[in-house]
Amino acid sequence: MTTTPRLESVLTCPVCGHARREVMPTDACQFFYECAHCKTVLRPKPGDCCVFCSYGSVPCPPVQQQRGGTGCGAGCCG
């Protein structure tokens, strides 16, 4: 059974704590994200494919489809 991935995630900046709901791309990983509050440019943590897997409330759509929405690993996108 295939579930439809969630396309929105709340990204939380690890520097200032600002949280913002964003729409995730379905066709690519998002490697960079600039915090709207403190302007810090976020990058994925080691082992994660994108900023949504590192700082989001929901992992990216490819991870949701491949792993049932839990965790992220290298090579999950693309």
pLDDT for the residue numbered 77: 57
What is the tens place of the pLDDT at every residue in 21-77?
A: 999 998 888 999 999 999 999 999 999 999 999 999 999 998 888 876 444 444 455
Distance, in Å, from the CA atom of 39 to the CA atom of 35, rounded to the nearest integer, reads: 5
Structural element, H or E, at residue 66: helix 61-67
- pLDDT-based confidence at residue 4 (cuts at 50, 70, 90): confident
Domain ranges of the chain: 8-67
Average pLDDT over residues 13-21: 98
pLDDT for the residue numbered 26: 85
Q: Is 74 exposed, middle or buried (0-12, 13-18, 19+ CB in 10 A)?
A: exposed
* Count of C-beta atoms within a 10 Å radius of residue 34: 11
